[in-house]
C-alpha cells in the first residue's frame, strides 16, 4: 500500500471513528508543520463528514519560546481565546510530529509545573469533548526508537491499522476482545502485580474498567481504571525510561504505603522525578492502572502513546484520575510509567491468575 493511502486511512480513522465527526460540528486539528500531510488529510475527511475543520498549525519552537521568554501570567493564567475555544469546539484531533523530542529538556521544571496547574481546568473541560491524540512519523521519533524513518513509518501505520483495507473494522474487533476481558474481571477487588523487583497490590473495588479502543488514543489497545486512592501497597521498578516534559527519566523505583509514594528513586534525572512528585498532594498517588492489549506493538520506542499499549505490559499513572473510572485523585500531574511483564511477570485478580509472562490465561485472545 502506498504511503499516501496509509495517511488517508489514518485520517479516516481519526475523523470518522475516533472523533466520529458530525455535520456542522467544529473539530480542531492541532499539529506542527511537520504533520502537514496528515493535517490536510484530516481536513479533507472532516469536510466529507460535514464538519467545520479548524486547523491550528503551530511551530514546535513556539513552546520553547514560551519557557524562554514567557511572563508570570503566561504560566499562571489561561487566555480568553483558549477559554473560548474550549467552550466552542465539539472535538479535537491532536497530532504529535516532533522534530526534537528533547527540545524542552532545558526548560525550568517549576515553570512547567505552574503551567500544568494553570491549564488543568482547561484540560478537564476539553476531556469532556470528543478528542483523539495521535502521531505522525518524523526522524526524531525514529531516532528515539532506534529505527530508520522508513521502518518507523511502517511501524506507526501498522500500529494504527492504517495498512489494512478496513482499519475501522480492525478497531471494532479490538473493542470486542477488550470487552471480553473487562467482563472477566468485572467486580474485582484486589489486583496483584508481580515481577522482577516488583510486588504491588492495589484495590479496584467499585471502580470501572474503561474499554480504550482508539476513541481517544490512536493507536490504542488497553483497558484502564482508577485504583482506590489509599490502597497501593508495595514496590515497583519500571523497566523502561519515560520522557516527560522533554526529559528522560530512567530506572524509576517507587515504594507505596497506604496509597502514597513514600520512597522514589531514579538512575537518571532523579531530581526532576522528585520535583514532579511534589507538584501537589495528588501527585504521589495513583490515578490510573492500565493493562496493555495491543499485541501488534511489541517494541519499546520511548513514546508513551505506543509504549503503554504494548501487549504484555501494564502502566501505572501517578496523579490525576479519569472521572469515568470512579477515580477520585486530583492532581495537575498525570504521568504514565510502564512495567514489562513479558519476562517473569504476572497479574492476579482476587488471587486468581489473569496473565503470566505477558499472555492472558483467560478473558482475552491475544
Predicted local confidence at residue 1, as pLDDT: 53
Domains of the chain are 3-165 (3.40.1830.10), 171-360 (no CATH)
pLDDT over 90 (residue 129) = yes
d(CA 181, CA 178): 5
> Which residues touch 307 (CB under 8 Å, ≥6 apart)?
240, 297, 300, 301, 313, 338
The answer to whether the beta carbons of residues 209 and 293 sit under 8 Å apart is no
Q: Which cell goes with 15?
A: 475523523
Q: How far is CA 60 from CA 34, 86, 134, 332, in A?
A: 9, 21, 16, 23
Q: Report CA torsion sign: 77, 319, 281, 70.
A: negative
Position 242 confidence tier, pLDDT thresholds 50, 70, 90 = confident
Q: Compute the average pLDDT of residues 211-229.
A: 96
Q: How far is CA 148 from CA 129, 138, 308, in A?
A: 36, 10, 22
pLDDT over 80 (residue 127) = yes
Q: Compute the average pLDDT of residues 47-72.
A: 95
Neighbour count for residue 96 (Cβ, 10 Å): 19
Q: Which cell goes with 201?
A: 497490590
The answer to whether the beta carbons of residues 218 and 183 sit under 8 Å apart is no
Helix or strand or coil: residue 16?
helix
- Residue-wise pLDDT for 18-28, tens only, equals 999 999 999 99
Neighbour count for residue 150 (Cβ, 10 Å): 11
Q: Which cell goes with 3?
A: 504511503
Task: Work out the percent of the chain whose per-residue pLDDT is above 70.
Answer: 99
Look at residues 88, 90, 113, 123 and name the one whose alpha carbon lies nearest to residue 22: 90
- Contacts of 183-190 with CB under 8 Å at 24 or more apart are 183/363, 184/354, 184/362, 184/363, 184/364, 185/209, 185/349, 185/354, 185/363, 188/349, 188/350, 189/350, 190/348, 190/349, 190/350, 190/351
Q: Compute the average pLDDT of residues 339-356.
A: 97
> Which residues touch 123 (CB under 8 Å, ≥6 apart)?
none
Q: Compute the average pLDDT of residues 150-174.
A: 95
Q: Compute the average pLDDT of residues 197-221.
A: 97
Helix or strand holding residue 235 (H, E): strand 233-237
d(CA 186, CA 191): 12
Mean pLDDT of the chain: 95
Q: How far apart are the first and last CA of the chain?
A: 26
Helix or strand or coil: residue 131?
strand
> Which residues touch 221 (CB under 8 Å, ≥6 apart)?
174, 178, 212, 213, 292, 293, 294, 296, 297, 309, 311
Predicted local confidence at residue 3, as pLDDT: 60
Please tell me the least confidently modeled range out of 101-105, 218-222, 297-301: 101-105
Burial of 44 (0-12, 13-18, 19+ CB in 10 A): middle
The answer to whether the beta carbons of residues 284 and 232 sit under 8 Å apart is no
- For helices 3-12 and 167-185, angle between their N-to-C axes, nearest 10 degrees: 50
Predicted local confidence at residue 80, as pLDDT: 95
Predicted local confidence at residue 106, as pLDDT: 86
Q: Compute the average pLDDT of residues 59-81.
A: 94
pLDDT over 80 (residue 2) = no
Predicted local confidence at residue 105, as pLDDT: 83
Helix or strand or coil: residue 281?
helix
Backbone angles phi, psi at 198, to 5 degrees: -145, 125
Q: 245 or 138, which is more confident? A: 138
- Residue-wise pLDDT for 270-293, tens only, equals 999 999 999 999 999 999 999 999
**Predicted TM-score of the model (pTM):** 0.88
d(CA 68, CA 64): 6
d(CA 117, CA 121): 8
- Residue-wise pLDDT for 88-122, tens only, equals 999 999 999 999 988 888 889 899 989 999 999 99
Amino acid at each position: 500500500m502506498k504511503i499516501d493511502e496509509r495517511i488517508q486511512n489514518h485520517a479516516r480513522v481519526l475523523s470518522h471513528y475516533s472523533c466520529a465527526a458530525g455535520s456542522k460540528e467544529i473539530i480542531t486539528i492541532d499539529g506542527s508543520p511537520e504533520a502537514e500531510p496528515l493535517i490536510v488529510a484530516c481536513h479533507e475527511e472532516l469536510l466529507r463528514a460535514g464538519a467545520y475543520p479548524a486547523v491550528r498549525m503551530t511551530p514546535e519552537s513556539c513552546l520553547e519560546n514560551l519557557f524562554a521568554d514567557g511572563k508570570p501570567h503566561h504560566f499562571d493564567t489561561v487566555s480568553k481565546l483558549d477559554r473560548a475555544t474550549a467552550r466552542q469546539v465539539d472535538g479535537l484531533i491532536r497530532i504529535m510530529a516532533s522534530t526534537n523530542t528533547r527540545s524542552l529538556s532545558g526548560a525550568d521544571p517549576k515553570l512547567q509545573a505552574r503551567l500544568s496547574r494553570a491549564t488543568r481546568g482547561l484540560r478537564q473541560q476539553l476531556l469532556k469533548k470528543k478528542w483523539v491524540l495521535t502521531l505522525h512519523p518524523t526522524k526524531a521519533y525514529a531516532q528515539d526508537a532506534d529505527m530508520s524513518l522508513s521502518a518507523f513509518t511502517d511501524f506507526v501505520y501498522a500500529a494504527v491499522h492504517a495498512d489494512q483495507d478496513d482499519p475501522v473494522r480492525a478497531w471494532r474487533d479490538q473493542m470486542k476482545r477488550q470487552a471480553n476481558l473487562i467482563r472477566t474481571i468485572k467486580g474485582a477487588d484486589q489486583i496483584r502485580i508481580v515481577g522482577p523487583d516488583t510486588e504491588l497490590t492495589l484495590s479496584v473495588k467499585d471502580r470501572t474498567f474503561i474499554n480504550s479502543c482508539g476513541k481517544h488514543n490512536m493507536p490504542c489497545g488497553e483497558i484502564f481504571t482508577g485504583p482506590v486512592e489509599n490502597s497501593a501497597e508495595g514496590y515497583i521498578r519500571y523497566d523502561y525510561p519515560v520522557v516527560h516534559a522533554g526529559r528522560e527519566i530512567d530506572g524509576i523505583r517507587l515504594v507505596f504505603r497506604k496509597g502514597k509514594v513514600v520512597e522514589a528513586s531514579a538512575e537518571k534525572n532523579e531530581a526532576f522525578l522528585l520535583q514532579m512528585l511534589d507538584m501537589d498532594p495528588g501527585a504521589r498517588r495513583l490515578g490510573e492502572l492500565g493493562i496493555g492489549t495491543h499485541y501488534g506493538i511489541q517494541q519499546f520506542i520511548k513514546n508513551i502513546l505506543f509504549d503503554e499499549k504494548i501487549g504484555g505490559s501494564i502502566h501505572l499513572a501517578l496523579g490525576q484520575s479519569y472521572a469515568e473510572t470512579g477515580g477520585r485523585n486530583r492532581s495537575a500531574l498525570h504521568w504514565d510509567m510502564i512495567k514489562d511483564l513479558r519476562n517473569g511477570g504476572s497479574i492476579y485478580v482476587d488471587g486468581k491468575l489473569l496473565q503470566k509472562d505477558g499472555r492472558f490465561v483467560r478473558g482475552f485472545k491475544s
